[in-house]
Structure 1
Amino acid sequence: MLKSIQERLAQLPESLRTVTATEAKQELAENKGALIDVREPSELADSPVSSSFTIPRGVLEMKALDQFKNPDKPLYLHCATGVRARLAAEQMINMGYTNVSAIVSDIKDIQDAFNQ
């Protein structure tokens, strides 16, 4: 049975942690985690977010293990709307990362929080 994005999002575990851009910014200042942009490279030129690691969702599983060796490091994933960030966060948890949060703010709010 095929599932729409809305159905797929509704099936994500309730334990999947979501935060706003402001919350992520505050937490990152304290916990020295990493901000990961899961958007495609073509999207970055129009709306860059400083201090983000860029790992597109399509290659996340292949690149994350090289970049983030500590499974307990706080990781904050963002995209343009929060949809891909939540799906990517689920992937990271399935890979064994234990401290993953999806930023559910839109890209303007993320830029406002991090591009200062």
Structure 2
Amino acid sequence: MLYLLIILAAVIVYGVYNWLRQRRIVKTLSQEEFIAGYRKAQLIDVREPNEFNAGHILGARNIPLSQIKTRIKEVRPDKPVYLYCQSGMRSGQAAQMLSRKGYKDLSQLKGGFKQWTGKIKAK
């Protein structure tokens, strides 16, 4: 029983640590803030291609989280990077990966694509 409590505590501490770290490296923007800045930035949808093709924010490029490491050269480090996914989890993970590679100006859409009410494009 004690081992279970120690493991549970470790998982909670690790989760809180990651959440706090993520908040330091990526700005979470409301839809209005996101709209105000994304045209001057690199807009990247980190969802999988089937999700992207079903509908995405107009002007977004699809670089799935599963491919970020191999396609990182497609993201310019000298320009702001605006990320989004379906709910906000994967965009936070992508921001952490980019941050480790030296990217500084990282923002994500609060609530992800499922909260988006702006213009979209579908294939």
Could you list the runs of 5+ residues in structure 1 that have no partner in the other structure?
none
Tell me by how many angstroms 1:91 deviates: 0.8
Aligned pair count reads 110
Distance in 2, Cα, partners of 1:3 & 1:58: 24
| Structure of greater Rg | 2
State how 1:16-55 maps to structure 2 within 5 Å. 16=25, 17-29=27-39, 32-55=40-63
Tell me by how many angstroms 1:28 deviates: 2.4
**TM-score of the superposition, structure 2-length normalised?**
0.74
- Specify which structure has the higher proportion of helix: 2
Residue 59 in structure 1 maps to residue 64 in structure 2: no
Sequence identity, in percent? 25
1:77–1:103 CA contact under 8 A, matched in 2: yes
**TM-score of the superposition, structure 1-length normalised?**
0.78
Say which SS state the counterpart of residue 105 (structure 1) adopts: coil
Distance in 2, Cα, partners of 1:94 & 1:58: 16
2:56–2:113 CA contact under 8 A, matched in 1: no
Could you list the runs of 5+ residues in structure 2 that have no partner in the other structure?
1-6
State the AA in 1 paired with 2:53.
Answer: A
State how 1:1-116 maps to structure 2 within 5 Å. 7=15, 9-10=18-19, 12-16=21-25, 17-29=27-39, 32-65=40-73, 67-69=74-76, 71-110=77-116, 112-115=117-120
Q: Deviation string for 1:15-39 (max 9, x for gaps)?
A: 122112321110124xx11110000
